[in-house]
Structure 1
Amino acid sequence: MKPYYEDDYVTLYHAKCEEIPTLWAAADVLVSDVPYGIDYQSNSRRDTLARSIEGDKDTTLRDYAILTHERTVGPDAPQIIFGTWRIPRPAGTRQVLVWDTKGALGMGAMDLPWKPAHQEIYILGKGFRGPRTSDVITCAPVQSLGRNGRVHPHQKPVALMEALIEKCPPGTVADPFAGSGATLIAARNLGRKAIGVEVKESYCEVIAKRLEQQAFDFASL
């Protein structure tokens, strides 16, 4: 299949991840904000943002990506997977990182006097490197409304993805659910090869535009 976008560092396909065997063959490290399996439905006013996430009815796609990567690379294949405490963590999770969103995230249960201000990130496999730092990563999220620059309901800040990829072992970074393209942009910013797949063409267009803008996406840092 011909890539939707390609440059010296990034290759992006418009397809389902199951349809691109080269994704798994090229992947050394899996870094992905996968469909959590929570059947996300936004009830808030989001301007142009989608109110749901494709494939988010259950963990089928998440588990497929994890197992396919492990079968291709090996049982110790390094993986960084986003998730939530509301769904059982992936089998083989070695550590849970907490993304502290500086008090900004969602509304949560309105009958409770606390609002959510963090997300979970799961570390699987081996080969990670770098200085030992806290398992809490503090990083402001992308503005919540489309008119403020957000392009995807679960868009992750490039700065957060850079902090995660910096500790990944060498090799090509793969994201089978590319979404807004934050993983691909962060990898390229760090001089890493990256390959991504996104099922919705509208998001592929967003990713391509973001990648074409400049080598470093300062707007999302």
Structure 2
Amino acid sequence: MSLYYQDDHVTLYHGDCLKDSREWLAADVMVSDVPYGVDYNSGARRDTLARSIAGDKDTGARDDALSAFAGKPALIFGTWRIPRPLGTRQVLVWDTKGALGMGAMDLPWKPAHQEVYVIGSGFTGKRTTDVLTYAPVQSMSRNGREHPHQKPIPLMRDLIAKCPPGVIADPFAGSGSTLVAAKNLGRKVIGVELEEHYCEIIAKRCAQDVFDFGAI
């Protein structure tokens, strides 16, 4: 584990959040698109976008991270196809505006949503619907996705805006959308990422002088 990037708001470690880096456990709330066991493996032909991510064969990484975080508040992404985390109090639905995967080809509906699990207490803000409608990051466009599960900044920003006060943790930082969104809100955030390639992407995004609201 090593410190990879740091500024006034963001601290990023390169390593395994469950084996190498424990600094993130001092944070107050977790916001993360964890590997949750869907075993995603893209069949799309792309030159740069990875087909899958580490730890996605089962829910072990998700459950171990939540256990280590010891019951503190969390917002965790997931899917109805996998058992929800223990302690889930509410399910938010991310409506992707019709864009997601192919799903079962023998059914006349395609998937166009993901779930976000609310764990713990202390969330604040205006009471709004539990359906969150945001376009995903396009996979093939200019300034498109750099990670197979990259989340849009507006979605992450609005989730973090309702989190309890204190430091945000994302122990599976991916391309850094949580870190960028937290920084845009003036929140301190600790991220951990296993792959050095993604650490480089996160550092570049967080070092930008302008707010990164578009390329997610």
Q: TM-score scaled to structure 1, two decimals? A: 0.94
Q: Which residue of 1 aligns with 2:13?
A: 13
Q: Structure 1 residues 207-216 or 49-58, which shifts more?
A: 207-216
Please say if residues 48 and 146 of structure 1, whose CA atoms lie closer than 8 Å, have aligned partners that are also in contact.
no
CA RMSD of aligned residues (A): 1.3
1:2 CA displacement: 4.1
The letter of the residue matching 1:145 is M
Please say if residues 182 and 188 of structure 2, whose CA atoms lie closer than 8 Å, have aligned partners that are also in contact.
yes
1:220 CA displacement: 2.8
Aligned equivalents of 2:85, 2:13: Cα separation in 1: 26
Q: Which residue of 1 aligns with 2:37?
A: 37
Q: 1:191 to 1:148 in 2, by over 3 A?
A: closer
1:219 CA displacement: 2.5
1:134 CA displacement: 0.1
1:167 corresponds to 2:162:
yes
Q: 1:2 to 1:47 in 2, by over 3 A?
A: closer
Q: Which residue of 1 aligns with 2:28?
A: 28
3-state SS of the aligned residue for 2:13? strand
Unmatched runs of 5 consecutive residues or more in structure 2: none
Q: Which residue of 2 aligns with 1:143?
A: 138
Q: Which residue of 1 aligns with 2:171?
A: 176
Please say if residues 189 and 215 of structure 1, whose CA atoms lie closer than 8 Å, have aligned partners that are also in contact.
no
Aligned equivalents of 2:143, 2:101: Cα separation in 1: 16
1:148 CA displacement: 4.9
Q: TM-score scaled to structure 2, two decimals? A: 0.96
Q: 1:120 to 1:57 in 2, by over 3 A?
A: same
1:212 corresponds to 2:184:
no
Aligned equivalents of 1:78, 1:143: Cα separation in 2: 30
Q: Which residue of 2 aligns with 1:190?
A: 185
The letter of the residue matching 2:41 is Q
Q: Which of 106, 127, 134 matches 2:101?
A: 106
1:107 CA displacement: 1.0
Structure 1 segments (4+ residues) deviating >4 Å: none
Aligned equivalents of 1:117, 1:47: Cα separation in 2: 25
Aligned equivalents of 1:159, 1:134: Cα separation in 2: 16
Q: 1:146 to 1:65 in 2, by over 3 A?
A: farther
Q: Which residue of 2 aligns with 1:202?
A: 197
Give the helix-richer structure, 1 or 2: 1
Aligned length: 215
* CA deviations over 1:38-77 (Å, ceiling 9, x no partner): 111111223310011110010110001111111xxxx3x1
